[in-house]
């Protein structure tokens, strides 16, 4: 007993604690370093885990960086892929006078996202959830072979029930319906809601269920933020509009202001490819499975007049395709950069691109909501305004409703529209998809919408008066930028 008492003396206990803590710090340090995250994020996690051995480890387990490995369906991609020369030729055919900088952006997207320049026969900008939902319902009801959907938010409300009813009717008619929703964004969906679709022969899946299952730990951060609808491989939709009453002003007066894109033509093949790979991954197949009806899923379509390119990105691709596409497009600008985003939390590279463009005389204009649906994101965004304005950019806050559009207009020859916000989460953590359009059509449509939106916005001026605590809150929120 005396030996036991001596062993557990205060001095020995103190020494034992430091030995255990040192071993813990060494093991955890090696684990964190092997994730090869950004230096600032790595240092932050190391300090947090060292200071909070128990609580910090729990937070890291659930929210820390995770390396995801997804096998791309190379056979699926090669079936419709074009050599880079053909991709470049397609852009030259449709825009003969296209400057070299457009070709450089196209090459960058091809090499980071592995999607060549394609084309569309028809392209329609849909402004507002009401127009978008009407168009989607029309396309679904007209489908004869398949309907594929992938959404971040699909609510079992009036809007969601109307679309689900149309899907069930198509499934009952023999149309193959596959529905993929994010388990966090669509957390209100229960089995009772989608059971009629499954009973009718449709298929349903959640993306990254937030529970410990076959994976070592639950996936909290890596969500599919994509909004994709493909009907018969010929009509495709993507953009910012989720399936929810919050996007339809006919249901809610304060509905989000948003835009979406309807496409017809060969470019839909690439939107389809993104969905099929996500579908295969969500079903937890070890290898992507090639569907037996590829001729119907990826039909041969006549080339269209509009040059477009799909760009997708996610945590399984370290090349940050959408982030690089945005930065490259801004760096390529000669005359204007008009950016609309609900969440403005730029990376250092993106902020440098914007300020450089403004400093060299490009008309840089940023449109954000006066109040987003996230207080901390709104505060973080405002911390960047003075720096932009000081370099010559113009910043506007949309006041009418919550602004949810995600668009970029560059000069008169390039535009981007899709699901990605201008923030760290969309650039690095979420699965996103965007359309890069070359030429006048979409560029002009988005520029016109930008000008109309400015009528409901007020300009932010440099050094605007702020009370001490709101200004301090903005600065504190900015420290959280990499986590937002």
Instruction: Please give the structure tokens belonging to residue 250.
Output: 């006919």
Question: What are the DSSP calls for 410-438, one per residue?
Answer: ETTTEEEEES--EEHIIIIISBEEEEEEE
pLDDT at 11: 56
Q: How far apart are CA 137 and CA 163, in angstroms?
A: 7
Q: What is the CATH number of domain 74-93+121-305?
A: 3.30.870.10
The verdict on whether 406 is a catalytic residue reads yes
pLDDT above 60 (res 85): no
- Specify whether the CB–CB gap between 435 and 309 falls below 8 A: yes
The mean per-residue pLDDT over the stretch 362-382 comes to: 83
Q: How far apart are CA 67 and CA 37, in angstroms?
A: 10
pLDDT at 382: 81
pLDDT at 65: 55
Tens-digit pLDDT profile for residues 41-72: 566 556 666 666 655 555 555 555 555 555 55
Question: One of 148, 176, 227, 323 is an active-site residue; which one?
Answer: 227
CA 117 to chain centroid? 20
Q: Which residue has the tokens 């996007």?
A: 247
Question: One of 114, 182, 411, 453 is an active-site residue; which one?
Answer: 411
How confident is residue 251, by pLDDT bands cut at 50, 70 and 90? very high
pLDDT at 91: 82
Determine the topology of domain 321-483 in CATH: Endonuclease; Chain A (3.30.870)
The verdict on whether 394 is a catalytic residue reads no
pLDDT at 95: 82
Give me the chain's average pLDDT, please: 84
Same topology, domains 74-93+121-305 and 321-483? Answer is yes
Among 94-103, 130-139, 242-251, 408-417, the least confident range: 94-103
Q: How far apart are CA 101 and CA 94, in angstroms?
A: 16
pLDDT above 50 (res 3): no
Provide the residue ranges of all domains of the chain, joining segments of one domain with +: 2-63, 74-93+121-305, 321-483
DSSP 53: T
Tens-digit pLDDT profile for residues 145-197: 999 999 999 999 999 999 999 999 999 999 999 999 999 999 999 999 999 99
pLDDT at 4: 46
pLDDT at 295: 81
Question: One of 176, 406, 424, 441 is an active-site residue; which one?
Answer: 406
Question: What are the DSSP calls for 272-330, one per residue?
Answer: HHHHHHHHHHHTT-SSPPPPTTHHHHS------SEEEEEEEE-TT-TT-HHHHHHHHHH
pLDDT above 90 (res 99): no
DSSP 255: P
Question: One of 148, 176, 225, 441 is an active-site residue; which one?
Answer: 225
Give Cβ neighbours of residue 363 (< 8 Å, ≥ 6 apart): 335, 336, 337, 338, 394
Tens-digit pLDDT profile for residues 213-223: 545 445 567 89
pLDDT at 372: 73
The mean per-residue pLDDT over the stretch 300-325 comes to: 93
Question: One of 114, 182, 232, 474 is an active-site residue; which one?
Answer: 232
Question: What are the DSSP calls for 170-239, one per residue?
Answer: HHHTT-EEEEEEETTTTTT--HHHHHHHHHTT-EEEEES-SS-SSSSS---S--B---EEEETTTEEEEE
The verdict on whether 232 is a catalytic residue reads yes
pLDDT above 60 (res 74): no
Burial code (b: 16+ CB inside 10 Å, e: under 16) for 250-265 equals ebbeebbbbbbbbbbb
Give Cβ neighbours of residue 151 (< 8 Å, ≥ 6 apart): 180, 181, 182, 185, 186, 226, 227, 228, 242, 243
- Nearest of 378, 385, 322, 388 to residue 353 by alpha carbon: 388
Which stretches of 13-100 are assigned E, i.e. beta strand? none
How confident is residue 378, by pLDDT bands cut at 50, 70 and 90? confident
The verdict on whether 225 is a catalytic residue reads yes
Tens-digit pLDDT profile for residues 197-247: 999 999 999 998 866 554 544 556 789 999 999 999 999 999 999 999 999
């Amino acid at each position: 007993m005396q030996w036991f008492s001596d062993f557990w003396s205060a001095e020995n206990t103190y020494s034992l604690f430091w030995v255990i803590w040192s071993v813990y710090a060494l093991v955890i340090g090696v684990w964190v370093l092997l994730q090869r995250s950004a230096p600032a994020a790595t240092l932050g996690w190391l300090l947090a885990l060292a200071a909070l051995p128990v609580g910090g480890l729990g937070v890291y387990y659930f929210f820390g960086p995770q390396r995801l490995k997804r096998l791309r369906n190379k056979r699926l991609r090669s079936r419709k892929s074009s050599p880079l020369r053909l991709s470049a030729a397609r852009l030259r055919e449709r825009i003969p006078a296209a400057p070299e900088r457009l070709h450089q952006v196209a090459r960058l997207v091809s090499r980071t996202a592995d999607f060549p320049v394609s084309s569309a026969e028809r392209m329609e900008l849909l402004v507002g959830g009401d127009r978008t939902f009407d168009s989607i319902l029309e396309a679904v009801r007209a489908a004869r072979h398949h309907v594929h959907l992938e959404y971040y938010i699909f609510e079992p409300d009036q809007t969601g029930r109307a679309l689900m009813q149309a899907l069930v009717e198509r499934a009952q008619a023999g149309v193959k319906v596959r529905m993929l929703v994010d388990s966090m964004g669509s957390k209100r969906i229960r089995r009772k809601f989608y059971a009629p679709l499954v009973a009718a022969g449709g298929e349903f899946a959640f993306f990254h269920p937030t529970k410990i299952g076959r994976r070592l730990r639950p996936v909290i951060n890596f969500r599919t933020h994509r909004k994709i609808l493909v009907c018969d491989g010929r009509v495709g939709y993507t953009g910012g509009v989720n399936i929810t009453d919050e996007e339809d002003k006919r249901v809610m007066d304060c509905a989000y202001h948003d835009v979406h894109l309807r496409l017809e033509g060969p470019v839909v093949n690439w939107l389809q490819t993104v969905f099929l790979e996500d579908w295969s991954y969500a079903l937890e197949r070890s290898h992507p499975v090639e569907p037996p009806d590829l001729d119907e899923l990826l039909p041969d379509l006549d080339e269209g007049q509009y040059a477009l390119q799909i760009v997708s990105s996610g945590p399984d691709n370290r090349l940050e395709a959408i982030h690089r596409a945005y930065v490259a497009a801004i760096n390529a600008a000669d005359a204007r950069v008009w950016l609309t985003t609900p969440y403005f939390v730029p990376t250092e590279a993106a902020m440098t691109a914007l300020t450089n463009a403004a400093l060299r005389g490009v008309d840089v204009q940023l449109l954000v909501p006066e109040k987003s649906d996230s207080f901390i994101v709104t505060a973080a965004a405002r911390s960047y305004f003075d720096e932009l304005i000081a370099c010559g950019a113009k910043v506007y806050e949309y006041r009418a409703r919550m602004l949810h559009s995600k668009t970029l207009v560059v000069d008169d020859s390039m535009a981007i529209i899709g699901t990605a916000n201008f923030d760290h989460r969309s650039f690095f953590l979420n699965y996103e998809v965007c359309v890069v359009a070359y030429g006048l059509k979409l560029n002009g449509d988005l520029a016109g919408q930008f000008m109309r939106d400015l009528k409901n916005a007020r300009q932010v001026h440099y050094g605007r008066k702020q009370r001490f605590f709101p200004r301090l809150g903005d600065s504190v929120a900015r420290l959280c930028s990499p986590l937002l």
